[in-house]
Amino acid sequence: MRQAAEDPPKRGRERPGPGHGAWFLVLPALIPILVLSVGPLLYGILLAFTDAQSGRTEPTRWIGALNFRDLLQDTLFWESFRIGLVWAVGVTVPQFLLALGLALLLNERLRLRRLARALAIVPWAMPEVVVGIMWRLVYSPDAGILNETLRDVGLGDGRDWLSGLATALPAVIVVGVWAGMPQTTVALLAGLQNTPRELHEAAALDGAGAWRRFRTVTWPALRPIALAITALNFIWNFNAFALVYVLTSGGPGGRTRLPMLFAYEEAFRYGQFGYAAAMGCVMVALISILLAVFLVGRLKGGDDA
């Protein structure tokens, strides 16, 4: 789910205590959060240790770690997990690099800059389902513009990109990059405005080339935002659903079956609530570990970057 990283809270004047009446201000939001968000999360963890199924008449039983043992041996799950990683890295990395280049570009004084910034919002505003449908039309074997363009320039004679075993995942990744780039660009652009222009100009006067200025002035200032947005993008991409559901439904032959699609099928097609909940737990745990490694690594090796 994509959400704007809006204004980081500024330090305003803070008073020591909430005083009376604060509870009355907080409860309207707190109760729904506890009942519909924190509660279900805890309930979900409990469910992972049961044999809960949809539409079954016998009572749900506590089965300990059995779901987790089954998961460890479920090759389909590990396959979807591997695809999820390939997809998340395959989308996040190009997304970041393209967005960085674009943000640097849009930070220059160019004509069309305003237009480009305004247009950058379009993919962000579109429902993911529409993005998926739109790209299906582009990829469509006969009526699609991609194959027609390739034919025009003499490259190949029409492929069914989304149903090809080898092409499906790359084709879906391109869409993921397209869909998420604007938001990353806007965030990085915000970071760029943060880099002190005087430093940049001083470095230029000292004869530093563009690359050196980027490395010594721009990047150090941009790094915190870049790290945060990359970590968030990675999580969002790993948890992606709608785009791929519309593009391929996980096919062909499970080649694009991301973990969320797998979990969705287990839970709502086969009714395996307990098993799917266990899968959710494993996904969260593994993603947290990966992110921790990534963040710790980046923060440690930070000074030379």
- Per CB under 8 A, contacts with another protein among 101-130 are 101-102, 105, 108, 110, 112-113, 115-130
Q: Which stretch binds another protein (CB under 8 A): 61-69, 78-86, 89-97, 261-269?
A: 261-269
Three-state DSSP class for residue 266 = helix
Query: What DSSP element (H or E) covers 246?
Result: helix 242-247
Residue number, 90 or 280, with CB nearest to another protein: 280
> Cβ of residue 148: shortest distance to another protein, in angstroms?
5
CA 88/CA 241 separation, integer angstroms: 12
Three-state DSSP class for residue 218 = helix
Residue from 63, 89, 93, 190 that binds another protein (CB under 8 A)?
190
Hey, which residues between 231 and 260 contact another protein (CB under 8 A)?
A: 232, 235, 239, 241-242, 245-246, 249, 260
Beta-carbon count within 10 A of 3 CB = 8
| Cα angle value 11/29/126 (rounded, 5°) | 80
Asked if 169 touches another protein (CB under 8 A), the answer is no
Binding residues with another protein: total (CB under 8 A): 113
Residue from 193, 212, 253, 297 that binds another protein (CB under 8 A)?
193
Beta-carbon count within 10 A of 285 CB = 10
Q: Which stretch binds another protein (CB under 8 A): 6-14, 61-69, 75-83, 87-95?
A: 6-14
Residues 6 or more apart whose CB falls under 8 angstroms from that of 90 comprise 169, 170, 173, 176
Asked if 170 touches another protein (CB under 8 A), the answer is no
Hey, which residues between 42 and 101 contact another protein (CB under 8 A)?
A: 43-45, 47, 101
CA 188/CA 232 separation, integer angstroms: 13
> Cβ of residue 87: shortest distance to another protein, in angstroms?
16
Residue from 63, 86, 93, 281 that binds another protein (CB under 8 A)?
281
Query: Hey, what are 210's tokens?
Result: 């563009």
DSSP assigned state of 164: -
Asked if 202 touches another protein (CB under 8 A), the answer is no
Residues 6 or more apart whose CB falls under 8 angstroms from that of 7 comprise none
Residue from 204, 208, 227, 290 that binds another protein (CB under 8 A)?
204
CA 87/CA 176 separation, integer angstroms: 9
> Cβ of residue 304: shortest distance to another protein, in angstroms?
24
Asked if 301 touches another protein (CB under 8 A), the answer is no
Three-state DSSP class for residue 50 = strand
Q: From the centroid of its chain, how far is CA 302?
A: 23
Residue number, 141 or 304, with CB nearest to another protein: 141
Residue number, 72 or 194, with CB nearest to another protein: 194
> Cβ of residue 13: shortest distance to another protein, in angstroms?
4
Q: From the centroid of its chain, how far is CA 37?
A: 20
Site string for another protein, 130-159 (x = CB under 8 A): xx-xxxxxx-x-xxxx--x--x--------
| Residue pair 305/97 in contact by the 8 Å Cβ criterion | no
